[in-house]
Structure 1
Amino acid sequence: MLHHRQLTQRQVLMGSFCIPVIIMGVYFACRGMAPFGSSSLLTVDLGQQYVDFFSYFRRIILHHPSELFYSFSKGLGGEMFGTNAYYLFSPLNLLLLFFPGASLTSGIMLVTLLRYGLAGITLAWCLQHLNWQQGPRIWAFSTAYALNGWMIANQLNMIWLDALIILPLIFYGLVKLLNGGGSGTYIGWLALMIIDNYYMAWMICLFTILIVIWQLPVLSSWQQRGKQLWRYVWSSLMAVGISAVVLLPTIFALLQSKGTYTETSIHSRFEYNPCKILAKLVPGSFNFDQMPKGQPNIYIGMLLMMGLVLYLLDRKVKWSQRLLAFLITAFMIMSFCYEPLDLLWHVGQFPVWYPSRFSFIFCFWVIMLAAKTLIANSDVPKWQIGVLIILTGGITYYVHTLHLSYISPNQIAIGFAFAVISIAYLAIPRRYSPLMYDLLFIVLIIADVATSALVSLSHLAYVSQPEFGNYTTALNAAITKVPTSDHEFHRVAKTIMRTKDDPLQSGFNSGDHFGSTLEPQQPAFMGAIGQPDGDGFISYANGTKVSDALLGFDYTLSASENRDHSDLPFSGYRPDWFSQQPLAITHGIGVRRNRNVLPLAFGANKQILTLGHATLDPLNYQSQILQALAGKPINKPLFNVQNFTSVDFINVQPAQQITGTTFKKQDPSQPAVVRLKFTPPTNGSYYLTLGPAVKDSATLSLNNKRFSQYNTYRNTVVLNIANHHKKRPVIITLRLKKNSLWMENVSLYQLNQQAFNTSLKALQHSPLQISHMSATTVKGHVTIHRGQSVLMTTIPAATGWHVKVDGQTVTPQTVLGIFMAVPMTTGPHTVVFHYRPPYLILGTCISITCLMITLLTIRYRQKHLEKK
């Protein structure tokens, strides 16, 4: 009999896993998602960020383990341990090792389906072991949980989805602990959650406090409540301690990066009308516009949402516990829209896209309350049915009056139909046909949440498999032409880009990155030298010969001429590269070597130690940096201002001065153009500066062809518009998109090639000869010459870097607000740079200590119980 019962439970668990997997798998196949067709699951951040991190993860596991801690593929170089703790520490990511290159999208499909199934099975296991539900009825709750509105809306945020899997196990362990059981389950799963993703774990930790408050009335005495409260606090601290090996280095890394954006002023205000949340009770109430700013995605099916109301009205539950449940529910709803509470759940920062990221907890909470009250053989009183009818009618009418873009009348009708059927179901006693009653319960809820999931996902667009696969294959092939060894360092610049994390995707050093843990010093510096930047991203799309040299971009990638480049999206234009013959052309990408660059570290003049950022002109700043390094007067610029030969004004007022002028349409109904012309007198390099106001008000074309330029930037950028173009006219056309155009920082410059060559040659005289190179260690020899007293590097300064010169530990200085520089005496030196994540050793010691204490405590408790 026992064996039969265990077998039945296993079958229920398997069904809880398979049902959501089958529903979503069939949908993905019908949509032609790879490997079933030419589409993919890649969209928004999954396509622009996470897929590249997954490729990087494969590389560090299989080939370059030192990049676990630091990588020069993260912008100009940055710590990776804290970054990985946010993006990559899910054990499920190990499955992606079997999907290289373009096939990675198929691996993402597999892992996504697996997460749907695991979310279902862990909730089913939790309900079974709490004895809140039994038998096939569990499938209704597990499927609603696996396909809840948060899960569907955040399917693309794969890095968060493990929270949905682990939450039921933490909840079970906590309820077990509060009822006098062992603490091992709670400690173990909470520690794993913190290690898996500390960000989502913070939300779950807050939720455990609410659960403790909710469970206190169940305990018999204040003495027992005090005892279990202490056990909860102690167990939580042990879980945090066990995870310290990840948590301490990560917290430090966050304080240097994402933590700098934490809100310092909090306003007591509602972000929107809380009643708008009612619209999320309609199936499929989600679309792309809801991602940047919207209401929480909380859909779990009509019947289970009604279960929340019935729990609060259920007189069989202690009034004190129902009151606490109501207050907790109200607290969560307030947290969705009340700014101080919103910030609390999101660790003090407003979400950049994907609002109410903790709404998965609300979904779980409501499902668990529904599981407590929607039990077999439990009849619903008629007065409660009346309450549900009034609520359904009122909410349906209110949502209909909102006229929201992400909800169609058909969706409202479908939701109302599911609500009516659910009320009718609750009004019919189960005793007349228990089997049919339970079957209807399961089918109704699964059909409801499946409909909502499929409608929501149909509102999104996805990256095609060829768009990802062809570009990735071409980029990987081109990167193989760049030499790699443990005694060389190369940075690669390019004028093509699928995402800003291309370097992580294909494993090369560059100046691009998009990530939540990017140190703010990098966007500040890159923006100052004329590169696109923002909070959390940089892109080396607007280089000059000077910036190429300073940052050591000794290899370049650009689309070859006379070829269809539909698979190679352009991000910039660099004619000054084309004077060099390609080393190789593969998949339409030309690979070139640039020898006019500086190495990763080189001898320089001490003038660089005191150089400030006193100019807002990016070309002037580049000039000052190179001249200071070379020991030359910084007031002798490398770039000279040039005048335009002529200017045409079409449907705008004429002006004597271009930069700083605001041009306005004379006839608002007609096109307006400002056309700038000049004829280069030499074959040198010419650059145009452009303020961010221009991109919002005009489109730019060069010689009647649309100019390739990454268009997200907030500082003045530098455009290379001519090289080897002597006595051939260059035409820059600005077409107004609005009624006015502010010509912010629109100026033309020419590079003084001779002065540049002189300064560069002086600096190339003292390179660091690298003897060993890895992501975390740089060893080499350098000879510092007269007039030089600094070893300048283009390694971003960070606390984890440790430097030894001739065997002696030295403290590097930070120059230009970003890079390490080491003061040195004249003569030959041996130098070693080594990176170790701060607090990694301390965190490891704390983790081992807490793990040992936990194991000993659990063992002691077991022996004590055996004696009793």
Structure 2
Amino acid sequence: MSRFKKHRTWPLLLISFSMTFTISLIVFAALKMAPFGSSSILANDSAVQYVDFFTYLKHALMGTAGKAYSFSNSLGGGMYANWTYYLLSPFNLIFVLVSRQAIPVAMLFVTALKYSTAALAAQVLASHRYGKNWYTLVFSVSYGLSGFLIANFLNIMWMDGVILLPLVILGIDRLFEEHRLIPYVVPLSLSFITNYYIGFMVAIFSALYFCWQWAIHHQPQLLRKIALFVGGSLLSGMIGAIVLIPTYLALSASRLSSAGADFTIKPLFSLIDLPSKLIPGSFNFAQLSNGLPNLYMGMIALLGAVFYFLAPAISVRERLISGVMTVILMLSIWLNPLVIMWQGFRAPVWYLYRHSFIVIFWLLLLGLRGLANLPSVSRLRMIIASVVVGGVVFIPTAWRMSSHKYVTLTNLVLGGVLLLVAAILLYSWAHHLFPQKWVVGGLLTLLVLDMGANAYTSLKAISFISKADFTVTSKALNAAYTEAKTLAPNTFYRVNSDTQRSMDDPYQYNFNGISTFSSVLNTSTINALTNVGAIGSAGRVKNNDLTWPLESLLGVRQLLLVNTQSTKTTTPEYQQISSRIIDNPRYDLPAYKLIGHNDYFNIYQNPDALPVATQIYRKVPTQVQANPVLQQNAYFSTFTPETIGAIFTTTDFSGITVDNVKPLTTLTNAIATKKDKKLGATITLNVNPSTEQRYLVMGENMRKNMAISINNVPLKNDPDNGSKTVSLPIDAEKPTTVTLTFNRNVDQIDLDHFALYTLNRQPFEQAVAAAKQHAPKQVVKNGSVTLTTRQNNSGYIMLTIPYEKGWQVDNKQVKIQNYRGFIGLKVPSTSLKFTLSYHTPGIKAGWIVTSLGLIGLIVLAFLEYWPRNGKHAVLVNWPARFRKMWQ
């Protein structure tokens, strides 16, 4: 703090924060985001994940939702990894203070606050190094509105680590200058705690930066500095252990943790495409999915980074070492093994370049030092360097504009003008061509226009959801789920709906559901649900197009369907809600009982819904085919002591006609091939009338390669994994027609698992009745299940709760097993009452290590800051201090 008092740099902190915050709000207002218009800041994952998690945070802190474990997490799951990845930012407390309807607006202001706080942190570092010089604002504002932060407005939880990075680097600087560890340990610990994922990247760069800082100077006491750095890093890890240890154990059960990584030495993009990332406004979602990071940092900072390598005032040794460091970081966004290293040695889903903020920060550091030493660069070097930069950036980009869908002529012209003006102003400042205050004013004005224009043009290309898309749908769904809860008995049950705002609706509306979208979703949940007929993929499972027996098996007691007889069908609210229907028509609806309705929804009750815990008499065979209805057959066959008939049996189609398809001797798992590849092709199937419910099963390949319709009504498709099961109309007189049409450019299709099944009502009802009759008494809460078994029971209980290692039982006679992704219990045949409870794995070890780390931090603070003779003690004096303390 004395440094800031000496240089009176605190006004620059306020200016940096205010400037970034104001630019952010102006850009958001220009894009008409609420509260400045009818749009919102929600897009992609922020619209379908984070807004729901922030609502869940409010439920959890108010005590109305499970904290350690929640049945809103699909069929149920531990919540620790969700907390540590999404919810530990202190900024998130703002969401607790506002209403559900206001959360999108709160997200806008939190995003602006995070941009501004990142700029503030960068200004702290810059002011420490260069006092109150104008170019420190270039560094801080360019960092706060850098391409990474603008592009990742939707990944708001990553920004805390970006904020803390400059403070971590400042801590390393002070370690070298003063031998103090506290300024390094505290921000690094916070980076692990607020978001371990970005914290891991910050820790890697910290090690690289420490090596660079040591290498560019002839540092005395090298071993002492290494020991301090290693010790401080370990202490930071210990303090963050409460996050790191339980999260690591949770991720070991996540499908994403087992995602393979390709360590082949190969570039992930062409180097000729890299210059386009330095053009303002060249960001869109296609860029994220295709790979290249957005490295935009402003033209002034870019030129400063180039001039760094031309400044004679900077030693040749430093420039050479910095060049090596720059090459290493550039390779880390180009070569696949290095990219994977930054992601924790696992290939992430979708966006590979999540560490590009490190590259931006490094280039900004060089730019800051380059601007500080700009007067030493000759006029000729400045002119030549500016021309070369313009050529290297703009010529390849212009040449490949046709392949860069995200780079427009406007972007190119804007970037050229900004670079030209920046070069002229920097040249004028370095060589005093005009009054300095006017040139500096021009540079700061250019900074505002540059970073604001990049933010605006980048975000303008994104499709944001409207404010009404969230507020209207949320209001109607919340009312429907609230009413549904009042109509249900006070026992555990699950709810399903044919309409959803997102897969994370159970979090937002605080009910026990099925669908979930989370980067840390337990693998058991995904496997258990996709095996029996749900659709899912890495990090997600969905609740659409489930069969009536499957909903019964999973304990879905209530079903919400859009009220097609409503008098409000012409209103915008109804249209908004009906546009979110995810199910195909539910022809099995007669099995349910209508128990309530409002203007938008009908609420149905499933009388066949089973309790969570059921007694079973045999295990499901491990070799059951990967066919959802056969899987359901296998589960229902275990509920009765005696063998009963299958609840689903195959049924032949009554007729088949083909158009431009080679003759088929069978349908299931057959290969359908076109006769003439240039023409379209269809398969038309007829199904005789029936009063029994029938389901059509089609495999994943069929859904991807065919358009399928029932009675000329197209089926909704789904790009994720798993077979699809849809109900067919029940009609005693009229046949049903199923039409399969080849997609364009598809010549051959595997009809995997394709078959027609009839639900046999008698064995189904027999299995349901037996399951209910023999089920143990049960009380189910978030994180605990209390069961009372019956005398002479079968000795085995299955719970439709995903298996996780955190479940423990308070009776040694009961053994917990992983039963095909669900919890299985081996129990005595006598009557017994016991409780299963969920305990987050690793939480005790995490607390112990963190407590030791905090004790170490307190001791460290005492040793470093305890006054002695009017001065602060420093780390180098520790041995003498210890001797004095124990004399």
Report the TM range for the smaller structure's normalisation.
over 0.9
In structure 2, what is the Cα distance between the partners aligned to 1:379 and 1:750? 84
Contact persistence 2:20–2:144 (CA under 8 A) = yes
Q: Distance in 2 between matches of 1:542 and 1:860?
A: 64
Between 133-142 and 468-477, report the one with greater CA deviation. 133-142
Do structure 1's residue 748 and structure 2's residue 767 form an aligned pair? no
* 1:584 is aligned to 2:582: no
Contact conserved, 1:280 with 1:297, CA < 8 A, in 2?
yes
Do the aligned partners of 1:274 and 1:334 also contact (CA within 8 Å) in 2? no
1:275 corresponds in structure 2 to: 272
Please tell me whether the aligned partners of residues 169 and 189 of structure 1 are also in contact (alpha carbons under 8 angstroms): yes
Among 685, 694, 700, which residue is 1:692 paired with?
700
| Equivalent residue number for residue 157 of structure 1 | 155
- Please state how far the C-alpha of 1:784 moved relative to its aligned partner: 4.7
Given that residues 703 and 731 in structure 1 are in contact (C-alpha distance below 8 angstroms), is that contact kept between their aligned partners in structure 2?
yes
Query: Of 361, 364, 370, which residue of structure 2 is paired with 1:367?
Result: 364
| Counterpart for residue 509 of structure 1 | 512
1:600 aligns with 2:606: no
Partners of 2:819 and 2:252 in 1: how far apart?
20
**Equivalent residue for 2:666, pick from 651, 657, 662:** 657
User: Do structure 1's residue 854 and structure 2's residue 857 form an aligned pair?
Assistant: yes
CA deviation vs aligned residue, 1:221-249 (integer Å, no higher than 9, x gap) = 44x22211110110111111011111110
1:141 is displaced (CA, Å) by 2.3
> 1:182·1:858 contact (CA, 8 Å) conserved in 2?
no
Report SS of the residue matched to 1:602: strand
* Map 1:88-103 → 2, pairs under 5 A: 88-103=87-102
Q: Tell me, yes or no, if the aligned pair for 2:275 and 2:393 is still in contact at 8 Å.
A: yes
Give the equivalent residue in structure 1 for 2:634. 624
Q: Shift of residue 126 of structure 1?
A: 1.8
CA contact (8 A) 1:126 1:172 kept: yes
The structural deviation recorded for 1:136 is 4.7
SS at structure 2 position matched to 1:680? coil
| Cα separation, 2, equivalents of 1:558 and 1:79 | 29
- 1:711: which partner in 2? 718
Contact in 1 for aligned 2:698/2:752 (Cα 8 Å): yes
Matches within 5 A, 1:41-60: 41-60=41-60
CA distance in 2, matches of 1:672, 1:467: 38
1:224-263 pair list within 5 angstroms: 224-258=221-255, 260-263=257-260
For 1:696, give the aligned amino acid: K
Paired position in structure 1 for 2:880: none
- Alpha-carbon offset, residue 72 of structure 1: 1.2
Q: Which amino acid aligns with 1:499?
A: S
* In 2, Cα distance between equivalents of 1:95 and 1:151: 20
Identity %: 25
Q: Residue 581 of structure 2: which of 561, 567, 570 is its match?
A: 570
Which deviates more from structure 2 when the two are superposed, residues 139-148 or residues 666-675?
666-675
Q: For residues 781 and 866 of structure 1, what CA distance do their matches in structure 2 show? A: 64
The alignment partner of 1:733 has SS state of strand
**Length-normalised TM-score, structure 2:** 0.92
AA at the equivalent of 2:169: F
* Residue identity opposite 1:857 in structure 2: L
Q: 1:540 to 1:599 in 2, by over 3 A?
A: same
Amino acid at match of 1:711: D
Q: Which residue of 2 aligns with 1:802?
A: 808
Decide whether the 8 Å contact of 1:477 with 1:587 is kept in 2.
no
Distance 1:219 1:136 in 2: 26
**Partner of residue 530, structure 2:** 527
8 Å Cα contact 2:69/2:76 also seen in 1:
yes
Query: Matched residues in 2 for 1:292 and 1:92: separation?
Result: 28
CA distance in 2, matches of 1:82, 1:486: 32
The reply to whether residue 551 of structure 1 matches residue 543 of structure 2 is no
Residue of structure 2 aligned with 1:460, choices 459, 462, 465: 462
Give a deviation string over 1:803-827, Cα, whole Å, max 9, x none: 124xx463311112x1112122334
**Amino acid of the residue matched to residue 668 of structure 2?**
T
**Change over 3 Å in CA distance of 1:506–1:234 after alignment to 2:** same
Shift of 1:661: 4.2
Residue in 2 that maps onto 1:812: 816
For residues 698 and 110 of structure 1, the distance between their equivalents in structure 2, rounded to whole angstroms, comes to: 45
Which structure 2 residues correspond to residues 714-725 of structure 1 after superposition, within 5 A?
714-723=721-730, 725=731
Structure-2 separation of matches of 1:171 and 1:363: 14
The residue that corresponds to 1:36 in the other structure is: 36
Q: TM-score, normalised by structure 1?
A: 0.94
SS at match of 2:708: strand
Output the amino acid matched with 1:641.
Answer: T
Moved more, 323-332 or 576-585: 576-585
Whole-angstrom CA distance in 2 between matches of 1:377 and 1:740: 63
Opposite residue 56 of structure 1, the aligned amino acid is: Y
Residue among 137, 140, 143 paired with 2:138: 140
**C-alpha distance in structure 1 between counterparts of 2:367 and 2:740, whole Å:** 61
Give 1:822-837 correspondences, 5 Å limit. Answer: 822-837=825-840
Change (3 A) 1:613 1:73: farther
Distance 1:796 1:239 in 2: 34
2:342 to 321, 345, 349: 345
653-662 vs 497-506, which moves further: 653-662
User: CA 1:826–1:661 in structure 2 vs 1: closer, same or farther (change >3 Å)?
Assistant: closer
Q: Which secondary structure state, in structure 1, belongs to the residue aligned with residue 9 of structure 2?
A: helix
Match of 2:497 in 1: 494
Q: Which runs of 5+ in 1 are unaligned?
A: none
1:39 CA drift (Å): 1.2
Preserved contact between residue 314 and residue 373 of structure 1 (Cα < 8 Å): yes
Q: State the Cα distance separating 1:391 from its structure 2 match.
A: 3.2
CA distance in 2, matches of 1:617, 1:295: 39
The answer for the alignment partner of 2:200 in structure 1 is 202
- Contact 2:799–2:822 (8 Å) recurs in 1: yes
Q: Residue 437 of structure 1 corresponds to which residue in structure 2? A: 439
Say whether the 8 Å CA contact 2:616–2:640 is kept in structure 1.
Answer: yes
Contact 2:115 2:145 in 1 (8 A): yes
For residue 23 of structure 1, what is the aligned residue in structure 2? 23
In 2, Cα distance between equivalents of 1:764 and 1:784: 16
Q: Distance in 1 between matches of 2:255 and 2:205?
A: 23
What SS does structure 1 have at the residue aligned with 2:789?
strand
Q: Tell whether the 8 Å contact from 2:313 to 2:376 is kept in structure 1 after alignment.
A: no
Change beyond 3 A, Cα 1:486–1:212: farther
Distance 1:413 1:838, change over 3 A: same
Aligned counterpart, 1:115: 114
What is the SS of the residue equivalent to 2:593? Answer: coil
Structure 2 CA distance, aligned partners of 1:430 and 1:784? 94
Instruction: Tell me, in whole angstroms, the C-alpha distance in 2 between the residues paired with 1:373 and 1:758.
Output: 80
* Paired position in structure 2 for 1:732: 738
**1:783 and 2:790 matched:** yes
Conserved? CA contact 1:698–1:741, under 8 Å: no
Aligned partners of 2:131 and 2:352: how far apart in 1? 32
> Letter of the aligned partner of 2:354 in structure 1?
R
1:298-340 alpha-carbon deviations (Å, 9 max, x no partner): 1111221111122122222232222221111111100111011
SS of the aligned residue for 2:610 comes to coil
Alpha-carbon distance in 2 for matches of 1:453, 1:291? 16
SS at match of 1:794: strand
Q: In 2 relative to 1, CA 35–710 (structure 1 residues): closer, same or farther, beyond 3 Å? A: farther
Once superposed, what is the RMSD of the aligned Cα atoms?
2.4
Q: Secondary structure at the match of 1:291?
A: helix
Say which SS state the counterpart of residue 481 (structure 1) adopts. Answer: helix
Could you tell me which runs of 5 or more consecutive residues in structure 2 were left unpaired when the two chains were aligned.
Answer: 878-887
2:622 counterpart residue number = 612
1:180-202 CA-to-partner distances (Å, cap 9, x unmatched) read 24211211111111010000001
Instruction: Tell me the CA shift for residue 203 of structure 1.
Output: 0.6
SS of residue paired to 1:793:
strand
Instruction: Tell me the distance in 1 between the aligned counterparts of 2:858 and 2:449.
Output: 45
Q: 1:729 to 1:260 in 2, by over 3 A?
A: same
Q: How far apart are the structure 2 equivalents of 1:92 and 1:3? A: 28
User: How many residues were matched structurally?
Assistant: 853
d(CA) in 2 for partners of 1:541, 1:262 = 25
